[in-house]
Amino acid sequence: MEYEQKFHGLFIGVDNYESPEFGQLKYAKNDAIALHALFLDTFGEKATLMLDAAATKDRLTTEIGHIRASSTEQDIVVFTYSGHGTHDGFLATRDAEPDRLTETALGLDQLFELVGGIRAEAIVLVLDCSFSGRAAAKVLREPEHRDAIRGPLTALESVAGEEIFVIAAAEADQEVRESGEFRHGLLTHYLLEGLRGHPAVCDGDRVSLLKLAGHVSSKLRPHPPEPGTVQQTPVGTRRTRHVSLPVLVPGANFRTIGEDTAPRHATPAFSSLSGMGVPDLAIVVWEQRYSRLNQLQLLAINDGQILRGGNVLVSAPTSAGKTLVGELAALRAVADGGRAVFLLSTRALVNEQYDRFQGTYSAIGVRVIRVTGELRDQTRALVIGDFDVAILTYEKYSALLSGCLELLTRTSVLVIDEIQTLASPDRGPGLELLLTWIRLRRLTGPVPQIVGLSAVLGKARELAEWLGAELVATTHGDVPLLEGVSPKTARTATSTRIGKNRSFPSLPQVRRTLCCRVSCAHSPTRVNR
């Protein structure tokens, strides 16, 4: 669809930064790709997309300069940025250095000065980033004084011209969140919804940008803030005249990236996985082994998006169903022609899981191999990629990877069991080195989907952000855990569960005291920008 008015668009999304001090984001590129596609479908011209390595400070200022040189008073100009912001009011371009932000990042004042020189009927700026500088969310050091934080409202005071409309995701003291469910920043998700003609924002066949800002704010209110943080509330220019855009109509570009179809949601029934990328034969196997998908597994599918390639960190106690989360991601990859690697902490666990996987999946055609320091016969199959699912120890995979880099590119999904081993003084450094290397590889090429499985962690969110993963957490085990004593000759055992005494049939094989603890709580969390 062509529109008469001349259009200029610049859409920036940065997930991966050159400086390790900037944490990896998951959906900033998705934001830019979706907005670019939607505007391109509607206006059909001059929409520039800049992702990761292309989004340097020099390239960004150059592109804005091209728009300044070619625009006219009748044009529409749209600039969107999704990525990291800093507490002192900078947009972190791909090459930004935290200790040299003035030279390497784009300050809000500089951005607004550049944009202020553009001739246009309407200029729209969207900033889906945080300026809070919270270390937990952004992996940047906290400002020494909170009054040193310079958010968008302060900079917006310098914006001249009623034709400029700016909407920023949050004020200076607020964190900006990404959503695994939507695969976007929350601001961008609701902007996409409004720009396509939500009734709350339309004036006839036009989208009122003032109404759009109100719509986004109202939609964000039901998303509660993380504990200890402030509710995310978008902010915008205060003296903008009534600026509007045509309703944006999704076309071929938007359909190509899959944004015109809402993601399917799994339900507790395994049959709901049909059509979501996992083999139908695997669904039959799971239906025979399990009664349903539990809440943890549903969170990993619906919020963590493991069946769409999303990285997840699963933090849960024993018996919560973590292993099946890894199997879901692995079988989805196998069905798509890929390969999955499971990393376990000991050879004994490798052998145990190999036997279980062989018994479960070989009958439906899944080729399962194991490689440990003791079993060398299947090493060649691993190296040449003659497998569907491989099971190894951390150390074996790292050792083989050092001599065969192709192994990483052949791995579609990497499931890391007991990832809390990172904190172990003996084995943690080796696992950390492996994961750090994978993080660095993201800057230059594709890397496997990461599924980390862990016992309940005290600082799970920080680890999830370091991995670039969605946190899926619960303290509730799916199998009820009881505590009690089963004497050698007893026919019943008195058990205490949630403060009540009950009697259960004795288990003659049990010859020890069982003491277990259960607590119930869970909350899906979303990673911040």
One-letter amino acid of 63: E
pLDDT (average), residues 357-381: 87
Question: Is pLDDT above 70 for 480?
Answer: no
Mean pLDDT of the chain, nearest integer: 81
Model pLDDT, residue 341: 97
pLDDT band at residue 132, thresholds of 50, 70 and 90?
low
Better pLDDT: 55 or 136: 55
CA distance 173 to 188: 20
pLDDT (average), residues 199-219: 88
Question: Is pLDDT above 90 for 362?
Answer: yes
Torsion region of 46: left, alpha or beta (phi above 0 gives left; psi -120 to 50 gives alpha): left
pLDDT (average), residues 379-406: 89
CA distance 384 to 404: 10
Q: For residue 462, what is the DSSP state?
A: H
Question: Is pLDDT above 90 for 308?
Answer: no
CATH of domain 7-256: 3.40.50.1460
To which CATH superfamily is domain 270-473 assigned?
Answer: P-loop containing nucleotide triphosphate hydrolases (3.40.50.300)
- pLDDT (tens digit, 9 = 90+) per residue, 136-195? 233 344 444 444 444 555 566 555 456 788 888 887 777 888 887 788 999 999 999 999
CA distance 179 to 194: 17
Model pLDDT, residue 37: 95
Share of the chain above pLDDT 70, in %: 80
Domain with CATH 3.40.50.1460 in the chain: 7-256
pLDDT (average), residues 340-353: 94
Model pLDDT, residue 511: 38
What is the pTM assigned to this prediction?
0.65
* Largest pairwise CA distance in the chain: 92
The 3-state DSSP class for residue 211 equals helix
Model pLDDT, residue 528: 53
Which residues on adjacent β-strands are paired with residue 81? 12, 127
Q: Are 200 and 217 in contact (CB under 8 A)?
A: no
Better pLDDT: 141 or 115: 115
Better pLDDT: 34 or 409: 34
Model pLDDT, residue 135: 31
CA distance 338 to 329: 11
Q: How many CB atoms lie within 10 A of CB 125?
A: 24
Side-chain-facing half-sphere of 280: CA atoms under 13 Å: 2
